[in-house]
Amino acid sequence: MSECRKENLAHFAVTVISKDRPGIVADISEVLFRLGCNLEDSSCTMLGGDFAMILIISHEKPFTKARLGDEFKLLHERTGLTVSVRALSEAEICPVKEEGELCLISVYGSDQPGIVYRVTKELAERKINIADLNTKLIGTKEEPVYVLMLEAALPDGMSVDDTAAVLEKLKKELSVEISVRVITPVSL
């Protein structure tokens, strides 16, 4: 049993992506509430014209993925919402604590394929761990501008300046602006 969670809980990852309309969250959470599930963590946002939900839920054992599947099938028939469920193993549910300095990296420039890949590849090769990442397409139809913002934890021994230097060469290659700044959480 994992040391970081209560015993006797089954965990599931639930994902929903649907054309946006009022009531999606209520539809999904009503099912979970009726089944007695706990909504442990969630992220719900608009992606393009779709509403996207990722939920981590738990339920006291015994409880099966099939039980959730049956309920969401009925919901699909009633509302058209398609829900995907994955059972999480004990090893998957333990939160990983932040380590190293936190920094915020912002990248923006003319839209082109590969911005996310090139930036994150440089970070991955240096064991820089991404904690949060968002992208948006802004600007005009004629001149779209791609914006990427991510928050990352630097490995021990790597500074914000080192990280900026690593990304410096991408600025010219991709013709984008890149800035790296430290986020120092303060204890008060």
Closer residue to other proteins, CB minimum distance, 92 or 177: 92
Cβ contacts of residue 98 below 8 Å, gap of 6+? 131, 153
Q: Min. distance of Cβ 87 from other proteins in angstroms? A: 12
**Residue type present at position 45:** T
State which residue, 74 or 183, has the beta carbon closest to other proteins.
Answer: 183
Under the binding rule (CB under 8 A), the answer on residue 185 touching other proteins is yes
Per CB under 8 A, the list member of 20, 41, 50, 162 interacting with other proteins is 41
Assign residue 131 a region (left: φ > 0; alpha: ψ between -120 and 50; beta: otherwise): alpha
Q: Give me 153's structure tokens.
A: 């934890």
In whole angstroms, give the CA distance from residue 153 to residue 160.
10
Pairing assessment for the beta strands 144-153 and 129-139 based on DSSP bridges = antiparallel
Q: Which stretch binds other proteins (CB under 8 A): 17-25, 71-79, 87-95, 106-114?
A: 87-95
Residues interacting with other proteins, by CB under 8 A?
13, 41, 43, 45, 56, 88, 91-93, 95-98, 102, 131-132, 151, 153, 183-188
